[in-house]
Amino acid sequence: MRFNLLSTGTNIALFTISLAINGQIIPERQWPGYRGYLASGVLDNANLPESFDFNKMINVRWKTEISGLGLSSPVIWGDKLFITTAVSNSDRQGIKTGIYGEGMPVADSSVHDWKVFCIDKNSGKIIWERTAYTGIPKIKRHPKSTHANSSVATDGKYAVAFFGSEGLYCYDYEGKLVWKKNFGVLKSVAYDYVAAEWEFGSSPIIYNGVVIVQCDVLENSFLAAFDLKTGNELWKTIRDEYPGWCTPNIYKDGDKIRIAVNGFKNRGGYDFETGKEIWRMSGGGDVPIPTPVIGKDLIYFNSAHGHDSPIFAIKTNATGDITLKPTGVLNEYVKWSIPRGGSYIHTLLVYRDHVYNVNWNGTIVCYEAGTGKEIYHAKLGNTQSFIASPVASDGKLYIVDEQGSVYIIQDGISFKQLAEIPMNDICLTAPAITDGMIFFRTQKYLIAVGNK
């Protein structure tokens, strides 16, 4: 079976207060990129509503229709929310849900408009809308994909949107285009069957005024850093890697800043300042999609495609080639691993003392974060198709299936489902959380849930 989605595809459990310090916004309280701060998927002390109902509009603050198709997750800084889409008058097939094995792209070559939206998070009103690019897509999309899969990255002053072969764009908060980059055609295709075009999926990240992009494609894969204000290239590191759809992440080894990247030939860590490779590891699913996540001096990786589906917990001080021996499950830098159990699509959720892994069929497995010991194994709902990665707040996990049902479960040592709430629209994207509100992006709408 083969279908692609996205890193549109991580986690540190952060325990922070929700107030600004001296009037300055606390970055850890924002949701500045794919799955939030450092892709953690976590925002505690958010005080989300205990219950909500999309049919009766109970605790639904607003619902805004978004034109076109996109799988970028909502990104938030202060009162502004960012999202992308690709609009075509001809590409109306929508997103094909369910479990299926065929991987051929949608037969569409119509003109699209790639758009970036800045939205008032409190009202749902569009503050500004910009068309970054207009033309025929250079790479076709998978039936479960779109031409706008990558989530925006923001630092409260700039918003960076990545549309793969259609370019990288940086806007200021008034919607002015500051700079753009064209990397040519980024061949996001099946590594062993190039006709299976699936579109780009890795999201940019911003850290300390630097934009990081991971481009693992059929030819000339690379990791690169750009100055956020000017777009000037700071470094570019070539990677020998199969096409992948993974978003990079930031971790620290002592006082040294590193970049973690998932991959098949070469998952690993790179120096933030120079792009120099620090460590590498091969093996795993050969179509890598999940984002690495961070927690308590460990970097967690998972993947699943082909023969293997491992989960790895890698020490942040790793150096050199740390690839496991064929029958090995740990070494000096691999604290623990599980040979089979990773997810094809989902980024892990590392929350408090637990690691949660959700799979395409709705199974959820909870592990001890420090040891990898399985705590429980359960099944969500009756549906067989889950794509969106989970998020968490105040002891609760929020997980969405493709048909748009929101499952809320309790963090803990036993499985406890608190609610199952239908949204009545297809949903393949991770929710976003801000103080008092949680946002869901469905195929047609952006929906804000919060106490009224």
pLDDT of residue 102: 77
161: alpha, beta or left? (left if phi > 0; alpha if psi -120 to 50): beta
pLDDT exceeds 80 at position 314: yes
pLDDT of residue 9: 37
At residue 37 the predicted structure's pLDDT band, cuts being 50, 70 and 90, is very high
Q: Which residue has the higher pLDDT, 205 or 27?
A: 205
pLDDT of residue 49: 96
Residues 48-76 pLDDT 10s: 999 999 999 999 999 999 999 999 999 99
pLDDT of residue 101: 78
Query: Within 10 A of 20 (CB to CB), how many other CB atoms are there?
Result: 11
Residues 395-442 pLDDT 10s: 999 999 999 999 999 999 999 999 999 999 999 999 999 999 999 999
Q: Which residue has the higher pLDDT, 446 or 452?
A: 446
Q: Mean pLDDT across the stretch 347-355? A: 97
Residues of the chain by 3-state class (helix, strand, coil), percent to 5? 0, 40, 55
Under DSSP, the state recorded for 39 is: G
Residues 250-296 pLDDT 10s: 999 999 999 999 999 999 999 999 999 999 999 999 999 999 999 98
pLDDT exceeds 70 at position 191: yes
- Residue 333 near residue 346, CB atoms below 8 Å: no
pLDDT of residue 100: 83
Q: Of 327, 313, 304, 314, which Cα lies nearest the Cα of 279?
A: 314
Q: What does the block give as tokens for 304?
A: 């699943």
- Spatial separation of the C-alpha atoms in residues 249 and 10, rounded to whole Å: 8
Query: Within 10 A of 241 (CB to CB), how many other CB atoms are there?
Result: 26
At residue 99 the predicted structure's pLDDT band, cuts being 50, 70 and 90, is confident
- Spatial separation of the C-alpha atoms in residues 276 and 285, rounded to whole Å: 25
Q: Which domains does the chain have, with CATH numbers?
A: 27-450 (2.130.10.10)
Mean pLDDT (the chain) is: 93
Q: What does the block give as tokens for 360?
A: 């395409």
pLDDT exceeds 60 at position 141: yes
pLDDT exceeds 50 at position 297: yes
pLDDT of residue 441: 98
At residue 93 the predicted structure's pLDDT band, cuts being 50, 70 and 90, is confident
- Residue 49 near residue 59, CB atoms below 8 Å: yes
Distances (CA, A) of 86 to 37, 91, 106, 310, 436: 25, 10, 14, 34, 30
Q: Mean pLDDT across the stretch 151-165? A: 98
pLDDT of residue 24: 61
Q: Mean pLDDT across the stretch 302-311? A: 94
The DSSP bridge pattern shows strands 417-422 and 177-181 to be unpaired
pLDDT exceeds 50 at position 12: no
**pTM tops 0.85, yes or no:** yes
Backbone angles phi, psi at 37, to 5 degrees: -65, 120
Distances (CA, A) of 210 to 278, 371, 411: 19, 34, 34
pLDDT of residue 2: 38
Q: Mean pLDDT across the stretch 245-254? A: 98
Is residue 65 packed enough to be buried (19+ CB in 10 Å), middle (13-18) or exposed (0-12)?
exposed
Q: Which residue has the higher pLDDT, 293 or 92?
A: 293
Q: Mean pLDDT across the stretch 113-124? A: 98
- Spatial separation of the C-alpha atoms in residues 162 and 356, rounded to whole Å: 28
Residues 24-33 pLDDT 10s: 678 889 999 9
